[in-house]
Chains A and B, each alone.
Chain A
């Protein structure tokens, strides 16, 4: 092997190690994770939102052709939400604008991610997996209010 080749190989490996270190740092030190396998949750078919602590909520969300339930979520700024998501029919996708929350909604499985809303505003969530003819109209909004007293949702059943 030529010397330059060895150097190139070494540098490439080193670069990938650094990237990997970044991933591990984010996972361990910053607790930024991807969804994992959820086994301690009963399957649900309707949406619910309830408060679990001073600034914490649990939201059970349902995706179906062609709406999210709830389609509008109002929360005070600073809320942390344990968000559970499932689908009632086919695959859908859920990502909240400007937030690190991105979940596939899949029938027969419950997906979960925690998200904190630390700035006020209105944030779109648009379905991002093809789910049939009206897929492009399947969307909703999270509205984060400056100092609202309580959380509420709309568009549920």
Chain B
């Protein structure tokens, strides 16, 4: 089989390498914070040598660096590589650099403010806790940088469509564009929150803020945010995984349908994070709950399509009987190390998905809302399949762009399996503790897990300790990965060229249908707009009409407002 390649200029090669290497360092800082949190929570340490004794500062850094910075950089880096490769069109170098620099500057600003303790507001930055204005500006620059990247893909896509009127857009491109369409719509809401509410208020230009309105806008962004994390992983599942297993994608149309469903249903679901909130009518919460179930459907289709693709691959590799194909997949093939990152993530996602449906189930949310169950759940999603797919993808991209051989292949291959064991143990502890009522975002080590405190909760202790064991294993897996990643970065290049020649393992479809109705984003974006207006107008109306008074800014250190 001919391997298609695409050539990137030296400047773009360097940019993309930067977009992968820098967030990897930030991820490591964030993950270190994660390990410290598990130790703090169990009362094992009261202070850590690098970040000091402030649990919540560490937690802010952990959430922002891992879940916002690392993920955004990776999504841009993957699109920067995959879209030009698939469309055979060069990236606009100026725009690519502009976007990269904006994102870097923004992340450094936000990161610095968190580090000096001027932005201990957690990654949700709910007012009336106030961060330094530069924190909000930094996040804004990060988002604008990603918009510039998105803007550079649109003309490439449109001109390809013009040149190839009868062809289907490559599935990987559909997936990456879906990622950025969802992201763009979502970030509009948070842009309104930051630019019109938080920033003027934090600068002192206005005195008071409507807390519920800001919170509602945040979640209008916050839920689609999770699909922005998930979608690049889906792109890799659909495009790469079947090929890596020597198989084919079971259905091309399923992939296209799934992506369009994400465009439509990602946004009008945000109040499922606000089931326990005041000032929003329960009927609208239920409506968002219904749409949330609708957005579970594409993930169920994905589960089927990927399993069917793997079955096809396993049978081609000689698997017999009903389940024999499962044993034939390349789990431990060093040359197919990327496969382990994708398959391990898929297994984790089964549990992430189930716990997600529990959270989404309206009244059932009463049992789990804001308990430790929630971080238990999302370490099985964003810190599970998404993280592993992004780590695998980063290793693959850096190996391609720098033409360096992947080092420590055996270790690289085992990282996802070690991590999976860790995250299962960790999340079990967190979720089980959550069901007992253990709150999230809480330094339990200083109260509920401290035998000398009047608040001591002995029945939570076993689960807090279990999450320490899991957290340590997760951390070890990440350390192994980081060592292998930098060993690869600093390895001797296999190529003498200055430019980079890139290839991707793109799967062919087994069932290929014309699916003409799924070829154009436009009708789906129109439906999305209508659904957002229908589902959010009553919510915003409720919030605006039933809240009273505004809030002055607060610092986390004092119960007296800052002005």
Q: Is the CB of A128 within 8 A of B440?
A: yes
Q: Is the CB of A90 within 8 A of B554?
A: yes
Q: Is the CB of B441 within 8 A of A130?
A: yes
Decide if A35 is an interface residue (CB 8 Å cutoff).
Answer: yes
Residue of B nearest to A132 (CB): B556
Q: How far is the CA of A152 from the CA of B244 in the complex (A)?
A: 67
Decide if A70 is an interface residue (CB 8 Å cutoff).
Answer: no
On chain A, the residues within 8 Å of B254 by CB distance are: 5
Q: How far is the CA of A93 from the CA of B441 in the complex (A)?
A: 11
Residue of B nearest to A36 (CB): B282
Interface residues of B in 97-147 (CB under 8 A from A): 122, 126-129
Q: Is the CB of B546 within 8 A of A38?
A: yes
Chain B 523-563, CB-CB to A under 8 Å as 1, else 0, gives: 00000000000000000001001111111001111110100
On chain B, the residues within 8 Å of A29 by CB distance are: none
Stretch at the interface among B68-76, B365-373, B495-503: B365-373
Q: Is the CB of A2 within 8 A of B511?
A: yes
On chain B, the residues within 8 Å of A86 by CB distance are: 278
Asked if A23 meets B282 with Cβ closer than 8 Å, knowing A95-B370, A108-B212, the reply is no
Q: Is the CB of A23 within 8 A of B455?
A: no
| Chain B nearest Cβ from A95, distance in angstroms | 6
| Chain B nearest Cβ from A139, distance in angstroms | 6
Decide if B457 is an interface residue (CB 8 Å cutoff).
Answer: yes
Q: How far is the CA of A8 from the CA of B436 in the complex (A)?
A: 36
Q: How far is the CA of A107 from the CA of B552 in the complex (A)?
A: 10
Chain B 278-317, CB-CB to A under 8 Å as 1, else 0, gives: 1111110110011001101100110011001000000000
Q: Is the CB of B442 within 8 A of A35?
A: no
Q: Is the CB of A37 within 8 A of B297?
A: no
Residue A128 contacts which of B305, B441, B446, B561 (CB distance < 8 angstroms)? B441
Chain B 149-170, CB-CB to A under 8 Å as 1, else 0, gives: 0000000000000000000000
Chain A 73-116, CB-CB to B under 8 Å as 1, else 0, gives: 00000000000011001110101011011111011111110000
Decide if A150 is an interface residue (CB 8 Å cutoff).
Answer: no
On chain A, the residues within 8 Å of B294 by CB distance are: 16
Asked if A103 meets B276 with Cβ closer than 8 Å, knowing A34-B282, A65-B559, the reply is yes
Decide if A117 is an interface residue (CB 8 Å cutoff).
Answer: no
Q: Is the CB of B279 within 8 A of A23?
A: no
On chain B, the residues within 8 Å of A66 by CB distance are: 559
| Chain B nearest Cβ from A9, distance in angstroms | 6
Decide if A51 is an interface residue (CB 8 Å cutoff).
Answer: no
Q: Is the CB of A111 within 8 A of B278?
A: yes
Q: Is the CB of A104 within 8 A of B278?
A: yes
Stretch at the interface among B82-90, B336-344, B356-364, B379-387: B356-364
Q: Is the CB of A135 within 8 A of B277?
A: no
Q: How far is the CA of A23 from the CA of B455 in the complex (A)?
A: 35
* Most B CB within 10 A of own CB, among A19, A97, A108, A139: A108
Decide if A129 is an interface residue (CB 8 Å cutoff).
Answer: yes
Q: Is the CB of A19 within 8 A of B212?
A: no
Q: Is the CB of B211 within 8 A of A106?
A: yes
Asked if A132 meets B554 with Cβ closer than 8 Å, knowing A5-B254, A126-B439, the reply is yes
Decide if A32 is an interface residue (CB 8 Å cutoff).
Answer: yes
Q: Is the CB of B277 within 8 A of A35?
A: yes
Decide if B14 is an interface residue (CB 8 Å cutoff).
Answer: no
Decide if B275 is an interface residue (CB 8 Å cutoff).
Answer: yes
On chain B, the residues within 8 Å of A43 by CB distance are: 548-549
Decide if A154 is an interface residue (CB 8 Å cutoff).
Answer: no
Residue A35 contacts which of B282, B290, B304 (CB distance < 8 angstroms)? B282
Q: How far is the CA of A139 from the CA of B55 in the complex (A)?
A: 18
Q: How far is the CA of A43 from the CA of B279 in the complex (A)?
A: 13
Decide if A49 is an interface residue (CB 8 Å cutoff).
Answer: no
Decide if A157 is an interface residue (CB 8 Å cutoff).
Answer: no
Q: Is the CB of A90 within 8 A of B128?
A: yes
Q: How far is the CA of A107 from the CA of B253 in the complex (A)?
A: 48
Chain A 33-74, CB-CB to B under 8 Å as 1, else 0, gives: 111111100010000000000000000000011100000000
Chain A 1-28, CB-CB to B under 8 Å as 1, else 0, gives: 1101100110011011001101100110
Q: Is the CB of A1 within 8 A of B277?
A: no
| Chain A nearest Cβ from B358, distance in angstroms | 10
Decide if B444 is an interface residue (CB 8 Å cutoff).
Answer: yes
On chain A, the residues within 8 Å of B210 by CB distance are: 108
Interface residues of B in 444-478 (CB under 8 A from A): 444, 446-448, 455, 457
On chain A, the residues within 8 Å of B301 by CB distance are: 8-9, 12
Residue of A nearest to B277 (CB): A104
Asked if A27 meets B362 with Cβ closer than 8 Å, knowing A90-B129, A108-B550, the reply is yes
Q: Is the CB of A19 within 8 A of B293?
A: yes
Q: Is the CB of B277 within 8 A of A93?
A: no
On chain A, the residues within 8 Å of B561 by CB distance are: 89
Decide if B414 is an interface residue (CB 8 Å cutoff).
Answer: no
On chain B, the residues within 8 Å of A133 by CB distance are: 54, 56, 556-557
Residue of A nearest to B55 (CB): A136
Residue of A nearest to B304 (CB): A8
Q: Is the CB of A128 within 8 A of B547?
A: no
Q: Is the CB of B554 within 8 A of A12?
A: no
Q: Is the CB of B448 within 8 A of A126?
A: yes
Decide if A124 is an interface residue (CB 8 Å cutoff).
Answer: yes
Asked if A95 meets B280 with Cβ closer than 8 Å, knowing A8-B304, A108-B211, the reply is no
| Chain B nearest Cβ from A83, distance in angstroms | 12
Q: Is the CB of A34 within 8 A of B212?
A: no
Q: Is the CB of B548 within 8 A of A26?
A: no
| Chain B nearest Cβ from A16, distance in angstroms | 5
| Sample of 5 more A-B contacts, CB < 8 Å, known A13-B297, A19-B293 | A23-B361, A36-B282, A86-B278, A95-B371, A97-B437
| Interface residues in chain B, defined as those with a beta carbon under 8 Å from any beta carbon in chain A | 54-56, 59, 122, 126-129, 210-212, 215, 250-251, 253-254, 274-283, 285-286, 289-290, 293-294, 296-297, 300-301, 304-305, 308, 357, 361-367, 369-371, 436-444, 446-448, 455, 457, 511, 513, 542, 545-551, 554-559, 561
Could you list 22 examples of A-B contacts with CB < 8 Å? A2-B511, A9-B301, A12-B304, A16-B293, A19-B293, A20-B290, A22-B361, A33-B363, A34-B366, A36-B282, A39-B545, A86-B278, A90-B126, A95-B437, A106-B279, A108-B210, A108-B549, A108-B551, A132-B557, A133-B54, A133-B56, A136-B55
| Interface residues in chain A, defined as those with a beta carbon under 8 Å from any beta carbon in chain B | 1-2, 4-5, 8-9, 12-13, 15-16, 19-20, 22-23, 26-27, 32-39, 43, 64-66, 85-86, 89-91, 93, 95, 97-98, 100-104, 106-112, 124, 126-133, 135-137, 139
